[in-house]
């Protein structure tokens, strides 16, 4: 630890003190962070002033964006599209510093920022796979190479979990209070899962430290919602034409934004509520509604819309069968799993979501939503499906979705097109082994306990239905006719 501390102290002495006084360190400098958390802080600062700022980092990819942000002096624009003719421009200056941690120097600079006394909160948008958790159970993937590395070389961490752990260790050693860890990723109980991952990694190194984290570090849950598609070259041209803005760091999103956060910040937090953030005791009902209604619909569009030949969310929404299918999914297959909401509230939310999906200025690519399916489907479809199974309620939309995902895998494997999923290699191997034989492929896939709850894999009637629908899709059956005949 001696050398490491000297390094940290050396770097601390080189960074201007003001750069250290940011308050918030963010890991996962991507589109969503810049259009959501940074916008809320900008609005909070505009209303209340104060010295809360953000230092944002990427630890494994997106180095180019860090360089672009640094070249732009960390100032960028967010273009909010209510619809094609209505673009609202926001200038954001809430990000004060950025890091790329692909090198030892970069990693130590970020660690020094995370150990600075002024750092009170670490926020995360590192995607569902960035937590290295089994999607169905939330257990830490101890065999993952990156986790293996961080278990042995804990002072040169490569994962967000390892960075959090090392920074907490340094803070404790220097007598600084712990920061609060706030996940802003689309996971159920994202704070609980983030805590479970960090504590499991700590346990692999030092039981006493793991207990200290359990007792001293807050990991509140939060529900985050704003549709923020990746920006394409076409988007840059559209934004320039609509707003005159021509910058590599611009972000495009819808006008809608929501952030519901459990108010548990022992080291303090910005007055986010002044910018409309909902600070609550318990976020679980909000997150379940959003993950199943919005994200579950998005994933249905991603796989079935792609098979039907559509490229964007808005394009697919023009198809009446698809729109009706989503409405059925939300009201007949999700609503029964959300008992804390009235049917009328869910009906209103459903119509709002359909309208949001129809916003064609977003050009939200189905292939982007289709990414990381193995990490997304458990919380978007499968947990709800097991609840419907227990209530003996049918779920033809979710079943068609699962068959659609499996067909999507088969099509991608045949075309040797990446599905951008951490389990791609294993999933493609399964597809190759049971090519176009739904009766074998389906049981083999549902045996994946890291993705599918055991109750689904044991449901023979479900396996038969899924095989029949998947065979139909693989044989070229029209998606819309399967949707119409589903109910
Ligand atoms: P993005 O692709 O722009 O950024 C993803 C970020 O995650 C990048 O900075 C990348 O470096 C980082 N990352 C990826 N794998 C990682 C890993 N294994 N460890 C550490 N960092 C890793 O994507 P975007 O749009 O910023 O979304 C990021 C996350 O934000 C999503 O996965 C989701 O959980 C959440 N989110 C996104 C929304 C959106 O509409 N884009 C809306 C609501 C939530
Ligand atoms: C999308 C989400 O890419 C995806 O998986 O479903 O990023 C979606 O845009 C957000 O959760 C909306 O809040």
Handedness of CA 70, 74, 75, 81 (dihedral sign): positive
Q: How does pLDDT run across 92-124, given as a tens digit for each residue?
A: 999 999 999 988 889 999 999 999 999 999 999
Does residue 7 carry a pLDDT above 70?
A: no
| DSSP of 105-138 | HHHHHHHHHHHSTT--EEEE---GGGG-B-TTT-
Q: CB of 292 closer than 6 A to ligand 2?
A: no
Helix (H) or strand (E) holding 92: strand 86-92
Whether ipTM tops 0.90, in short, is yes
Quick check: 262 and 282 in contact, CB under 8 A? yes
Q: Which residues approach ligand 1 with their CB closer than 6 A?
A: 28-33, 58-62, 125-130, 160, 185-186, 224, 226-228
- Residue whose Cα lies nearest atom 38 of ligand 1: it is 32
Closest ligand (CA of 313)? 2
Query: CB count, 10 Å around CB of 250?
Result: 21
pLDDT for 1: 42
Q: CB of 70 closer than 6 A to ligand 2?
A: no
Closest ligand (CA of 369)? 2
Does residue 427 carry a pLDDT above 50?
A: yes
pLDDT-derived band of residue 19, with 50, 70 and 90 as boundaries?
low
pLDDT for 32: 98
pTM value is 0.95
Average of pLDDT values for 431-443?
84
Q: How many whole angstroms from 59 Cα to the centroid of ligand 1?
A: 12
Residue 86 DSSP SS3 = strand
- Please name which of 423, 412, 438 lies closest in space to residue 375, comparing C-alpha atoms: 423
pLDDT for 10: 54
Does residue 4 carry a pLDDT above 60?
A: no
Q: How many whole angstroms from 43 Cα to the centroid of ligand 2?
A: 23
- Residue whose Cα lies nearest atom 35 of ligand 1: it is 185
Angle at 367 between CA 364 and CA 369, to 5 degrees: 65
pLDDT for 313: 98
pLDDT for 439: 80
Q: How does pLDDT run across 280-338, given as a tens digit for each residue?
A: 999 999 999 999 999 999 999 999 999 999 999 999 999 999 999 999 999 999 999 99
- Residue whose Cα lies nearest atom 23 of ligand 1: it is 30
- Residue whose Cα lies nearest atom 6 of ligand 2: it is 295
Does residue 63 carry a pLDDT above 70?
A: yes
Q: CB of 285 closer than 6 A to ligand 2?
A: no
Quick check: 248 and 70 in contact, CB under 8 A? no
Q: How many whole angstroms from 367 Cα to the centroid of ligand 2?
A: 12
The whole-chain average pLDDT of the chain stands at 94
Q: What does DSSP say about strands 251-254 and 76-83: parallel, antiparallel, or unpaired?
A: parallel
> Of 298, 314, 401, which is best to mutate to test ligand 2, by the most ligand atoms within 8 angstroms of its C-beta?
298
Quick check: 153 and 56 in contact, CB under 8 A? no
pLDDT for 11: 52
> Of 124, 126, 187, 421, which is best to mutate to test ligand 1, by the most ligand atoms within 8 angstroms of its C-beta?
126
E-only strand ranges, 402-484: none
């Amino acid at each position: 630890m001696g050398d490491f501390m000297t390094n940290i102290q050396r770097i601390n002495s080189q960074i201007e003190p003001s750069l250290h006084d940011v308050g918030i360190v963010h890991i996962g400098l991507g589109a969503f962070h810049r259009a959501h958390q940074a916008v809320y802080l900008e609005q909070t600062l505009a209303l209340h002033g104060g010295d809360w700022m953000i230092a944002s980092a990427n630890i494994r990819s997106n180095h180019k964006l860090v360089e672009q942000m640094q070249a732009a002096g960390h100032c960028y624009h967010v273009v909010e599209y209510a619809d094609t003719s209505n673009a609202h421009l926001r200038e954001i200056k809430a990000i004060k510093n950025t890091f790329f941690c692909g090198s030892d120097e970069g990693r130590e600079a970020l660690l020094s920022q995370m150990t600075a006394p002024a750092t009170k909160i670490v926020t995360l948008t590192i995607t569902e796979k960035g937590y290295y958790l089994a999607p169905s159970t939330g257990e830490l993937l101890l065999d993952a190479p990156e986790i293996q590395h961080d278990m042995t070389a804990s002072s040169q961490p490569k994962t967000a979990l390892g960075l959090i752990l090392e920074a907490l260790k340094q803070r404790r050693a220097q007598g600084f209070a712990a920061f609060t860890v706030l996940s802003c990723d689309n996971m159920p109980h994202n704070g609980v899962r983030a805590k479970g991952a960090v504590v499991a990694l700590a346990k692999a190194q030092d039981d006493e430290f793991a207990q200290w984290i359990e007792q001293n570090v807050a990991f509140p849950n939060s529900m985050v919602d704003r549709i923020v598609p990746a920006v394409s070259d076409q988007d840059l041209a559209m934004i320039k034409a609509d707003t005159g803005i021509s910058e590599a760091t611009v972000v495009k999103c819808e006008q809608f934004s929501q952030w519901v956060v459990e108010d548990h910040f022992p080291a303090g937090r910005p007055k986010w509520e002044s910018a409309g953030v909902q600070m609550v005791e318990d976020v679980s009902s909000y997150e379940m509604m959003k993950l199943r209604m919005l994200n579950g619909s998005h994933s249905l569009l991603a796989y079935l819309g792609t098979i039907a030949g559509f490229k964007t969310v808005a394009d697919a929404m023009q198809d009446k069968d698809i729109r009706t299918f989503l409405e059925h999914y939300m009201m007949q297959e999700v609503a029964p799993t959300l008992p804390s909401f009235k049917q009328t509230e869910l009906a209103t939310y459903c119509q709002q979501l359909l309208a949001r999906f129809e916003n064609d200025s977003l050009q939200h690519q189905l292939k982007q939503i289709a990414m990381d399916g193995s990490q997304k489907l458990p919380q978007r479809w499968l947990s709800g499906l097991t609840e419907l199974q227990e209530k003996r309620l049918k779920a033809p939309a979710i079943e068609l979705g699962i068959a659609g995902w499996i067909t999507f895998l088969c099509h991608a494997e045949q075309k040797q097109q990446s599905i951008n999923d951490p389990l791609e290699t294993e999933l493609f191997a399964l597809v190759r082994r049971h090519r176009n034989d739904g009766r074998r492929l389906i049981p083999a896939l549902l045996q994946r306990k890291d993705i599918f709850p055991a109750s689904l894999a044991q449901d023979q009637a479900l396996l038969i239905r899924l095989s029949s629908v998947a065979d139909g899709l693989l044989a070229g059956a029209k998606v819309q006719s399967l949707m119409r005949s589903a109910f």
